[in-house]
Amino acid sequence: MPGASPDSPADWPEVVGSVAYEAPDELVFVDPLVPEELWPALEERVRAHGRPVRVLTTIGFHRRSRDEVVRRFNATTSRAKPSLPEGVETVTIRRAGETMVWLPRPRALIPGDRLLGDDRRGLRMCPPGWLRYLEPGLSYEELREALRPLLDLPVERVLVSHGEPVLRNGRAAIERALS
């Protein structure tokens, strides 16, 4: 945001990412942010898919257009594992205030704020200042350890909210970010 102190929780690019995924049984939006001019295209996509709509939020700050998507499409918001759409899983990052979304079929990981694009087609961990609001406090090294289980996933793509997505060799990009 303009005027934010570097690496503070308010220091993030104005343009952010969100994801739409056509699961076999539901249309899933992750951290949706819908500019007014995109609503007609989104409404057409929902109509064409013809299945129920689900909105998943990775982190509390990413509620963005969630309530409006829920209202317009009678969407559900549950992240409870038994109710998730086919081919959609969640990965809770303990003590980090984040639940990432894992799409096994396209091998795509969708983090909220704990992994960011690094502007070199790779990834980086969020700045340490982004952890200040967590209770109880989480150190940067503890976050690194909490993210290590992601290396057990066969990640090809990492669709980040902040920065450029990683579209190839996602697992290797995660490994570099954690080293």
Provide the pLDDT confidence category of residue 10 given band limits of 50, 70 and 90.
low
The pLDDT of residue 63:
85
Instruction: Encode burial over 46-81: b for 16+ CB neighbours within 10 A, e otherwise.
Output: beeeeebbbbbbbbebbebbbeebbeebebeeebee
Residue 130's φ and ψ, nearest 5 degrees, are -75, -10
- Give the range among 8-12, 30-34, 110-114, 154-158 with minimum mean pLDDT: 8-12
The pLDDT of residue 62:
81
pLDDT at 124 over 70: yes
Q: Could you write out the three-class secondary structure of 101-125?
A: EEECCCCEEECCCCEEECCCCCEEE
Provide the pLDDT confidence category of residue 132 given band limits of 50, 70 and 90.
confident
Provide the pLDDT confidence category of residue 129 given band limits of 50, 70 and 90.
confident
Kindly report the pTM of this predicted structure: 0.91
Per the prediction, the chain carries an average pLDDT of 91
Structural domains of the chain sorted by starting position, each given as residue range(s) with its CATH number in brackets: 19-178 (3.60.15.10)
